Amino acid sequence: MNLNQEIFTRKGAEKKTAIINAATEDDLMRVSKDTIIRIIKEVGSKVYIGNGKYSSRDKSLYIPSDRWASNRWNAWVKGVNYTKGKLFVNIYIQYSNTDTDRAEHYDTFFRSGEYNGHLTYTDMYDNPHTAYYTFSRSHKANAIKAILLTYVERKEALKAKKKEEAA
């Protein structure tokens, strides 16, 4: 099944959701970078740059927190950004007794095999520490699934809003 085409067909949201949920790990990992960029451009939010202004071309797609893709340990994929022509994956990381967000290049994160990341931080005594986090191929496939399901949900909400405004 080619999700790169199926996701943009004129099928209903329920049917698309069923297709995404039934997709195999291989099907999900074949979703192209261009598909993700198109998804962000269609349903992503403009990026706030301060002083009441929003970027004209930079967009973000945030995944609802109940759908974040986890590595089942200490990190979650919480969205994707398309900024200045580059695609980034937003990763939320918990370590020691705090947490942070990190943006990783899409190509680096979705490279074949495991993604191994680390974060260097200092404690209150300025002692350096390193926190590690890993996303396996199946965890990355779950991140793609979360992005696709968020797209279907947002697209349906936009259609409903247009119908409501037209009435």
Q: What pLDDT digit, counting tens, does each position of 23-64 carry?
A: 999 999 999 999 999 999 999 998 877 787 777 789 999 999
Alpha carbon distance 56, 141 (integer Å): 30
Angle 117-41-69 (CA atoms, 0-180°, nearest 5)? 35
The string of pLDDT tens digits covering residues 107-130 is 999 999 999 999 998 888 999 999
Ramachandran sector of residue 13 (left: φ over 0; alpha: ψ -120 to 50; beta: rest):
alpha
Contact between 58 and 82 under an 8 Å Cβ cutoff? The reply is: yes
What pTM does this model have? Answer: 0.91
- Looking at residue 108, its amino acid is T
What pLDDT does residue 123 have?
86
Segments making up each domain of the chain, as ranges: 3-166
Of 147, 25, 23, 10, the closest CA to residue 78 belongs to 147
Host H or E run for residue 54: strand 53-62
* Structure-token pair, residue 99: 């947490």
